[in-house]
Structure 1
Amino acid sequence: MALPYVHDLGDGIHVIDTGFHRDDFDAAYLVVQDGHALFVDTGTNFSVPRLLAALDDLGLPRDAVDHVIPTHVHLDHAGGVGLLMQQLPRATVLAHPRGARHMVDPSALYQGALAVYGQAQMDRAYGQLQPVPAERVQATTDGQTLDWHGRALHFIDTPGHAKHHHCLWDEASRSWFTGDTFGLSYREHDTARGAWIMPTSTPVQFEPEALKRSIDRLMARDPQAMLLTHYSRVTDVRRLAGLLFEQIDAMVAMALPLRAAPDRHAALLAGLNALYAEQLRRHGVTDLAAALAGLELDIELNAQGLGVWLDRDDGPR
């Protein structure tokens, strides 16, 4: 029986709506090749039943899963890794070298998220993080190629959103699994012009110039599509890359004069709301109030991330 939260994208790639926050917000990917499987991103602990149900629906046993690959260790991408791995006897986690240790000991990861979200939200949205045995975690390297049952998968280091972020190129579909490096694009904002996209500066490691370099590296392979965690596949990637560059620059230009503002966070929120309202209006979105309400969490996190960037010793000059 087909599951309503799993969709076949072709080339053995299935997108799974993890159910985090709302529908069509947070994706995990299940890739199938010659009876073997891997997951890219997992959502949270509460997403794990959906991931396991997707395996069952495709007739794949637990031991068919070779790898679990978080694009980075933010909890909407990697919070469920430890719990999922308990159900996958043969799987290995392939994590960015800066993130691998957090899969083995997630205590610092949990405390960092707790400082951002608070205990009530942590309990409601994420639960307790589960460790992965060290022998089941491998760190990737920039430029590494994995020959996975005849399917070439290529890892690159993509800082800018987070220093512990890598992206995964799938040669078979000529697509990147981009995590948060290629921004956020929700399907409710699609118009006759196509998809709309926005960068994410979620705290605490936003680096605008590094993010632009990472996007350039993604575009260098002339991808046919980007497979986003938020949310699902987008095409017309050159236009979308242009939108990302435009908005990254606009976010920086808006934020810099506010570095010493007395109520900086409120000013950053107002500036981001104005920026995205204008972008959405130009894209043909008619109900701007509803669109901005749907982006409230992302705008809040972007404002927090810009604030951290403004305060960093190695931040803007």
Structure 2
Amino acid sequence: MTQGIHTIDTGFVRPRFDAAYLIVENGRGAFVDCGTNHAVPRMLAALEDAGLRPEDVDWLILTHVHLDHAGGAGELMACLPNAKLVVHPRGARHMVDPSQLWAGASAVYGEQVMESTYGRLRPVPVERVVEAPDGHSVDLAGRSLHCLDTPGHAKHHLAVHDARTNACFTGDVFGLSYREFDTANGPFVLPTTSPVQFDPEALHASLRRLVALNPSAVYLTHYGRVEEVGRLAGDLHAQIDAMVAIARAAHGKPNRHASLVEALTALYAARAIAHGWTEGRDALASLLAMDIELNAQGLEVWLDRA
């Protein structure tokens, strides 16, 4: 725990893969993201560990409505009698009526996988949903949490700037940094372009906006608190450009998807080795298999749209 910020492992996929956060101030709480339905017991346990009750939570703030961040929002809100849900205006309707989210994901993964992986999505009553446009401020017992419109990964993405600590909760806009890749050179990071709204120029702009705050740290969903914000942002900018170049080189190839997967794996492996990663390409490919696949899909959607 750092200055009232508690990291919660939601248990999604593997340990230290998917985080949510609890911010505590003067006996009141705010969650940032919540994982899936299966994470709800962990969220409530985190409250108990922090000495809070469910009725002490004022806010659930979602960085965006992708299911590894927000799938359990309805179930969690049902346990928090006094909380309001804060979400980007573009994502609010999906919390009130999650049928479109469910249908889209089910078309890819199938109903059975959706049920076992995420659990059935529960609507949030409209009167409990607060839309947070750029600059919206959430008051947590006198602690200001500012919502920043940060597209690039998704059009409905916001980051949360905690004025008390000058730290940012960045969802997926500041990339992925799994603790398995930490070396003597610090944390390793890569962008996430998962379908369907990757926008490289918007992502570059969002990163520049976050860095301009000179934050003490950023809190990633995948995974945890990292510092060295300027260096990591530079790494992300360079990789976004490299990934765009990879996508353009693969455009028109009959084996486009396989080419993207191979080239992305090579990119991340080369950068990880240069960072001091010694476990080898196969271990990297195994740990990043889901992310590489989603990044390849996201680049393909971007290519087709462009």
TM superposition score normalised by structure 1: 0.95
The amino acid of 1:81's aligned partner reads A
On the 8 A contact 2:196/2:298 being kept in 1, the answer is yes
- SS of the residue aligned with 2:302? helix
Q: Distance in 1 between the 2:185 and 2:140 partners? A: 37
* Residues 1:207 and 2:199 are matched in the alignment: yes
* Residues 1:77 and 2:96 are matched in the alignment: no
Residue 141 of structure 2: which of 149, 174, 186 is its match? 149
* Residues 1:26 and 2:18 are matched in the alignment: yes
Over the aligned positions, Cα root-mean-square deviation in angstroms equals 0.9
Query: Once the 2 structures are TM-superposed, how far is the Cα of residue 119 of structure 1 from its aligned partner?
Result: 2.6
Q: Which residue in 1 is equivalent to 2:179?
A: 187
The amino acid of 2:32's aligned partner reads V
Q: Distance in 1 between the 2:260 and 2:25 partners? A: 45
Q: Distance in 2 between the 1:102 and 1:245 partners? A: 30
Q: Which residue in 1 is equivalent to 2:298?
A: 305
The amino acid of 1:217's aligned partner reads R
- SS of the residue aligned with 1:223? coil
Q: Which residue in 1 is equivalent to 2:240?
A: 248
Q: Distance in 2 between the 1:231 and 1:257 partners? A: 31
Structure 2 unpaired stretches of 5+: none
Query: Once the 2 structures are TM-superposed, how far is the Cα of residue 33 of structure 1 from its aligned partner?
Result: 0.4
Q: Deviations over 1:210-246 (max 9, x none)?
A: 0010011111110010000000000001000000000
Q: Which residue in 2 is equivalent to 1:101?
A: 93
Query: Once the 2 structures are TM-superposed, how far is the Cα of residue 257 of structure 1 from its aligned partner?
Result: 2.0
After the TM superposition, which residues 208-227 of structure 1 pair with which residues of structure 2 at under 5 Å, given as runs? 208-227=200-219
Q: Distance in 2 between the 1:144 and 1:184 partners? A: 26
Q: Distance in 1 between the 2:214 and 2:74 partners? A: 34
Query: Once the 2 structures are TM-superposed, how far is the Cα of residue 159 of structure 1 from its aligned partner?
Result: 0.5
Q: Distance in 2 between the 1:56 and 1:32 partners? A: 12
Q: Distance in 2 between the 1:54 and 1:225 partners? A: 22
Query: Identity rate of aligned residues, in percent?
Result: 58
Q: Deviations over 1:267-306 (max 9, x none)?
A: 1101101101101110010112212210000000000100
Query: Once the 2 structures are TM-superposed, how far is the Cα of residue 152 of structure 1 from its aligned partner?
Result: 1.5
Q: Which residue in 1 is equivalent to 2:107?
A: 115
Query: Once the 2 structures are TM-superposed, how far is the Cα of residue 123 of structure 1 from its aligned partner?
Result: 1.9
The amino acid of 2:140's aligned partner reads W
Q: Which residue in 1 is equivalent to 2:54?
A: 62
On the 8 A contact 2:218/2:229 being kept in 1, the answer is yes
Query: Once the 2 structures are TM-superposed, how far is the Cα of residue 34 of structure 1 from its aligned partner?
Result: 0.2
Structure 1 unpaired stretches of 5+: 1-7
Q: Distance in 2 between the 1:116 and 1:35 partners? A: 42
Q: Distance in 2 between the 1:116 and 1:191 partners? A: 36
Residue 134 of structure 1: which of 111, 118, 126 is its match? 126
Q: Distance in 2 between the 1:229 and 1:245 partners? A: 19
Runs ≥4 residues deviating over 6 A = none
Q: Which residue in 1 is equivalent to 2:156?
A: 164
Q: Distance in 2 between the 1:116 and 1:31 partners? A: 34
Q: How many residues are matched?
A: 305
Q: Deviations over 1:242-276 (max 9, x none)?
A: 00000000000111021211011101101101101
